[in-house]
């Protein structure tokens, strides 16, 4: 077993003294092959043995091969820092400072951990350690130049890549659908199987002007994407939008692969670089159509997305494929009832699921009357003596006429909760408006707390600076950070309160309280809830908030409720009669 691996597996809690962590790293396979790691380890071990006089049993090596130092996402580094924060490390020693970090921000955070846990940092090559003031100052200066070197290297690489793009050379990105990599000429060429499919997609889009219908056609005919997956409307749109298919090379288009689009003047656009699959005229026509469709869709949907709230949004799951169900507003009904409609996400995006959707017209009455029945069962707990009696109460109402019963496991759990003390989902006891607690000046309380925290910070600082025996630096920093975080939270809460007070004419608080009271009143009544008449009287956001506090998940199969999972984990699965 390699020494590094064996050392890394030594359980730290078996050592009588803190460990000395030797951190080694290389960023490329070339460096690994050239024995850079063994060289680093050898030099560091000798330094510990002959200079610091540290016994070998206290040494633990943390090795990251082929990892960049531009961030801290390195396995061995993260394991080492866990031990540092646990107070089990006395020294962290590296061969060169850029072995551990080339990012000033990351290093500052790391070094704060070192200081808070009394860890001495040593860089052997630069000949300094942070146990001295001059060593700490030199460290920060060196790190500034290390980060500068990394950024200059990044800029040089970018300049080379842009130069290659300007000359029409491929820069190593994934070859898109329709093309394949030719190793002889080292350039993408049209794929004989995928190329005709791309041409067909452009031809179809000119005729039907719908990426969703093209998606459905491709998936239904078992035509896979480049990676063997299913098509979505976005992957189809990405094909139509890519100018490579008309032979144009577009480079430096985004900040990253899926990042923000850069200003147009920074793009590199070269025509007639690739073998085209479609004509420039067809590409331009399809993209103009896509622009027009997107503009019309945005104009039609932008207001509705901001205006409406969906009562059961985020709670529904397709019982066939397990996908989340997406929501939209259905056509308005009589009495100002404007229900939402919910569809399987896989059916909507990829047409791979044939499950039926559901609307608030049937979903709302079922859910709210079932919750009302749960509340009534809680009130009648003493008189409910059997599972059958509980089931009869829970299935009271016309919404449940086609249900033969409730799955025994869920029914038994509800019965046990009912008899052993009401569970969270078996009770709903709102405070009536006329008996509500007096209004408390929350802003005044928060301001008072903030003032106390500021005074505590000042006292804490004096205590730390002028009393050597009062507390350690770690205790001071932890306490100081806690007070500062709480003050930031208070500022956010005060800002929200001021925002609400700046528009008192809306009376939002009163409306929401009244709506909540109406919901509570309906649930506490034994009468059947006519959801179509009840829902327009209450804001959708209030109904959504209430349902979200009671229910975790609702599963839909065949356009009907299959099961309800409550917040306390209890699930009621409904057994429907055969049609």
Q: What span, in angstroms and rounded, lies between the C-alpha atoms of 366 and 529?
A: 10
What number does CATH give the domain 3-153? 3.40.50.1390
Q: What span, in angstroms and rounded, lies between the C-alpha atoms of 143 and 152?
A: 14
CA 40 to chain CA centroid, Å, is 39
Q: What is the DSSP letter of 436?
A: P
Q: What span, in angstroms and rounded, lies between the C-alpha atoms of 195 and 533?
A: 57
pLDDT tens figures, 205-218: 999 998 888 988 89
Q: Are 314 and 320 in contact (CB under 8 A)?
A: no
| pLDDT for res 432 | 40
pLDDT tens figures, 235-257: 999 999 999 999 888 877 776 65
pLDDT tens figures, 499-538: 554 443 333 344 444 455 556 667 777 788 888 888 777 7
> Which residues are 324's β-sheet partners?
317
CA distances from 72 to 13, 69, 101 (A): 25, 7, 8
Helix (H, G, I), strand (E, B) or coil at 468: coil
CA distances from 308 to 47, 263, 539, 540, 541 (A): 68, 34, 10, 8, 9
Structure tokens at 447: 């301001």
Q: What span, in angstroms and rounded, lies between the C-alpha atoms of 217 and 204?
A: 10
Structure tokens at 194: 């995928």
In the sheet with 560-566, reading across from the earlier edge strand, the strands are 316-318, 551-557, 560-566, 571-576, 403-406
> Which residues are 340's β-sheet partners?
329
Backbone angles phi, psi at 167, to 5 degrees: -95, 5
pLDDT at 66 over 70: yes
Q: What is the mean pLDDT of residues 258-284?
A: 85
Q: What span, in angstroms and rounded, lies between the C-alpha atoms of 300 and 209?
A: 17
Looking at domain 179-292, its CATH architecture is Alpha-Beta Complex (3.90)
Q: What span, in angstroms and rounded, lies between the C-alpha atoms of 232 and 210?
A: 12
Counting Cβ atoms within 10 Å, is residue 543 exposed (0-12), middle (13-18) or buried (19+)? buried
In the chain, where the domains are located: 3-153, 179-292, 310-437+499-579, 438-498
Average pLDDT, the chain: 78
Other CB atoms within 10 A of residue 234 CB:
12
> Which residues are 121's β-sheet partners?
92
Q: What percent of the chain has pLDDT over 90?
A: 23
The band of 2, judged by pLDDT with boundaries at 50, 70 and 90, is very low
pLDDT at 115 over 90: no
Sheet strands (E) in 9-65: 19-26, 59-65
CA 516 to chain CA centroid, Å, is 31
Q: What percent of the chain has pLDDT over 70?
A: 73
Counting Cβ atoms within 10 Å, is residue 471 exposed (0-12), middle (13-18) or buried (19+)? middle
CA distances from 522 to 401, 424, 431, 517 (A): 21, 19, 14, 9
Whether 3-153 and 179-292 share one fold: the answer is no
Q: What is the mean pLDDT of residues 460-489?
A: 68
CA 505 to chain CA centroid, Å, is 37
Q: Are 209 and 200 in contact (CB under 8 A)?
A: no
**Of 331, 333, 337, 328, residue with least CA distance to 304:** 328
Q: What share of the chain is helix, strand, coil (3-state, %, to 5)?
A: 55, 15, 30
The band of 104, judged by pLDDT with boundaries at 50, 70 and 90, is low
Token pair 């970018």: residue: 158
Sheet strands (E) in 371-506: 403-406
pLDDT tens figures, 174-227: 888 999 988 888 889 999 999 999 999 999 999 999 888 898 889 888 899 988
Other CB atoms within 10 A of residue 165 CB:
20
Q: Are 223 and 178 in contact (CB under 8 A)?
A: no
| pLDDT for res 435 | 36
Q: What span, in angstroms and rounded, lies between the C-alpha atoms of 328 and 340?
A: 6
Backbone angles phi, psi at 119, to 5 degrees: -100, 130
């Amino acid at each position: 077993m390699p020494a590094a691996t064996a050392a890394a597996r030594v359980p730290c809690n078996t050592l009588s003294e803190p460990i000395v962590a030797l951190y080694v790293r290389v960023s490329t396979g070339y460096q690994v092959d050239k024995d850079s790691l063994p060289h680093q380890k050898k030099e560091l071990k000798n330094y510990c043995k002959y200079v610091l006089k540290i016994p070998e049993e206290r040494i633990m090596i943390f090795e990251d091969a082929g990892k960049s130092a531009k961030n801290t996402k390195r396995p061995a580094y993260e394991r080492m820092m866990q031990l540092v924060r646990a107070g089990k490390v006395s020294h962290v020693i590296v061969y060169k400072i850029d072995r551990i970090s080339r990012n000033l921000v990351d290093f500052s955070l790391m070094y704060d951990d070192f200081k808070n846990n009394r860890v001495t940092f040593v860089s052997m090559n630069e000949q300094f350690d942070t146990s001295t003031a001059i060593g700490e100052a030199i460290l920060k200066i060196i790190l500034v130049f290390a980060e500068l070197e990394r950024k200059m290297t990044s800029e040089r690489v970018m300049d080379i890549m842009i130069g290659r793009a300007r000359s029409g050379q491929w820069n190593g990105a994934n070859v898109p659908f329709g093309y394949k990599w030719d190793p002889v000429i080292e350039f993408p060429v049209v794929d004989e199987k995928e190329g005709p499919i791309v041409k067909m997609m452009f031809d179809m889009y000119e005729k039907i002007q719908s990426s969703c219908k093209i998606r459905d056609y491709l998936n239904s005919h078992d035509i896979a994407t480049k990676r063997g997956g299913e098509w979505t409307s976005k992957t189809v749109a990405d094909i139509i939008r890519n100018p490579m298919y008309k032979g144009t090379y577009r480079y430096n288009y985004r900040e990253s692969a899926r990042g923000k689009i850069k200003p147009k003047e920074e793009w590199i656009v070269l025509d007639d670089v690739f073998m085209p699959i479609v004509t420039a005229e067809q590409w331009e026509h399809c993209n103009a159509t896509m622009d027009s469709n997107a503009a019309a869709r945005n104009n039609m949907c932008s207001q509705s997305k901001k205006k409406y709230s969906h009562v059961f949004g985020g709670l529904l799951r397709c019982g066939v494929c397990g996908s989340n169900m997406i929501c939209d507003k259905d056509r308005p009904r009589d009495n100002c009832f404007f229900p939402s409609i919910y569809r399987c996400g896989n059916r909507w995006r990829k047409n791979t699921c044939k499950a039926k959707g559901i609307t608030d017209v049937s979903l709302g009455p079922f859910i709210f009357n079932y919750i009302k029945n749960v509340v009534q069962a809680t009130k009648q707990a003493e008189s409910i003596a059997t599972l059958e009696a509980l089931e009869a109460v829970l299935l009271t109402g016309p919404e449940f006429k086609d249900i033969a019963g409730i799955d025994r496991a869920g029914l038994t759990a509800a019965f046990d909760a009912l008899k052993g003390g009401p569970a969270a989902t078996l009770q709903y006891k709102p405070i009536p408006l006329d008996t509500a607690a007096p209004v408390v000046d929350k802003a005044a309380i928060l301001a008072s707390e903030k003032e106390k925290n500021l005074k505590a910070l000042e006292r804490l600082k004096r205590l730390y600076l002028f009393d050597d025996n009062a507390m350690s630096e770690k205790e001071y920093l932890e306490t100081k950070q806690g007070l500062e975080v709480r003050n930031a939270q208070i500022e956010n809460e005060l800002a929200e309160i001021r925002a609400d007070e700046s528009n008192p004419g809306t009376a939002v608080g009163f409306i929401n309280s009244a709506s909540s009271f109406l919901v509570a009143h309906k649930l506490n009544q034994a009468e059947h809830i006519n959801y179509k008449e009840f829902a327009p009287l209450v804001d959708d956001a209030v109904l959504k908030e209430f349902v979200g506090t009671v229910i975790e998940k609702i599963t839909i199969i065949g356009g009907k409720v299959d099961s309800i999972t409550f917040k306390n984990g209890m699930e009621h699965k409904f057994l429907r009669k055969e049609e």
